[in-house]
Structure 1
């Protein structure tokens, strides 16, 4: 695969895909934009070494930055004993429920699900991006899918074939 000639060409060509991945990692459009910006700033100094195939490295930076941001923000969460009123199901309710369930996964599990099933990477590619063993990708995906089925039981039929 021939890589983009310049950093600017890469950003122009891949910005949408990077934003999608970042959105799925963070769950918020603004956070996704910030995450992509931070990742690209970190990639620029290394561009000469990764220019041939920058995608795996950029994804790795996105995932690591997302995990770091989650760790820094985690202490700000406020727990309550009162549950909010149940939302009324409407068009797109399944998608919203799945996005909310994704947000409740541990960062590494969320990263595995996003890279494997949304970005369509193989187990080996996902392992390389995350810097872990293929077995770790498999176990994280298995555990994440179990958790997603628990969090969104109505989507169980749609998640049946995923990860099997």
Structure 2
């Protein structure tokens, strides 16, 4: 990579890492996994920088890379490595007087991966159905069904005092 292109890359990444980490954290619900996902994304971005910097909307391009990396993570061989014979049961969602945001995070972690990605992109990033479909590489109908199923799952998991969009 040329020195000028490398400087552009470093400048872009330095400015965007906080936003990428926020998105990764909302998707994964875990700071360490979020850091890994961001690192994976910016490494891939470095390798594809010559193509990426020509994109009409570089932020959308990189956000798509991160979300697809998150969704595809389950297909990678390392994701099947288990440290335990059986996975521990997830913590039940309880109203312990914590902020609603923490309760929502715990519930969101229990929603299937693809539905979680759709919910985060639709409601946290306020993206339209067509853009979410483009990011995830699926149809608008798939995004709508994942939205519906994801919201239904959240309604079942959340206490009634927390409002879930309709």
TM-score by length of 2: 0.79
Counting only pairs closer than 5 Å after superposition, residues 139-154 of structure 1 correspond to structure 2 as 139-154=145-160
Provide the aligned length of Structure 1 versus Structure 2: 153
Deviation at 1:60, TM superposition (A): 2.1
Stretches of structure 2 lacking an aligned partner (at least 5 in a row): 1-6
Structure 1 stretches of 4+ with a deviation exceeding 6 A read 83-86
8 Å contact from structure 2 (residues 93, 157) kept in 1: no
Stretches of structure 1 lacking an aligned partner (at least 5 in a row): none
Evaluate the alpha carbon distance shift between residue 24 and residue 74 of structure 1 in structure 2; reply closer, same or farther with a 3 A threshold. farther
Deviation at 1:38, TM superposition (A): 0.5
Aligned residue among 2, 10, 27 for 2:29: 27
Query: What residue is the counterpart of 1:97 in the other structure?
Result: 103
1:129 aligns with 2:129: no
RMSD (Å), alpha carbons: 2.5
Evaluate the alpha carbon distance shift between residue 74 and residue 33 of structure 1 in structure 2; reply closer, same or farther with a 3 A threshold. same
Evaluate the alpha carbon distance shift between residue 13 and residue 99 of structure 1 in structure 2; reply closer, same or farther with a 3 A threshold. same
Q: Highest relative contact order (Cα 8 Å, sep 6+), 1 or 2?
A: 1
Query: What residue is the counterpart of 2:116 in the other structure?
Result: 110
Deviation at 1:100, TM superposition (A): 1.0
Moved more, 121-130 or 53-62: 53-62
Query: What residue is the counterpart of 2:4 in the other structure?
Result: none
In the alignment, the residues of structure 2 paired with residue 133 and residue 85 of structure 1 have an alpha-carbon distance, to the nearest angstrom, of 33
Tell me the alpha carbon deviations over residues 54-107 of structure 1, each in whole angstroms, 9 at most, x when there is no partner: 222222221222233345546745255xx9788562241x22221111111111
Aligned residue among 73, 78, 90 for 2:87: 78
Evaluate the alpha carbon distance shift between residue 84 and residue 126 of structure 1 in structure 2; reply closer, same or farther with a 3 A threshold. closer
In the alignment, the residues of structure 2 paired with residue 50 and residue 58 of structure 1 have an alpha-carbon distance, to the nearest angstrom, of 8
TM-score by length of 1: 0.80
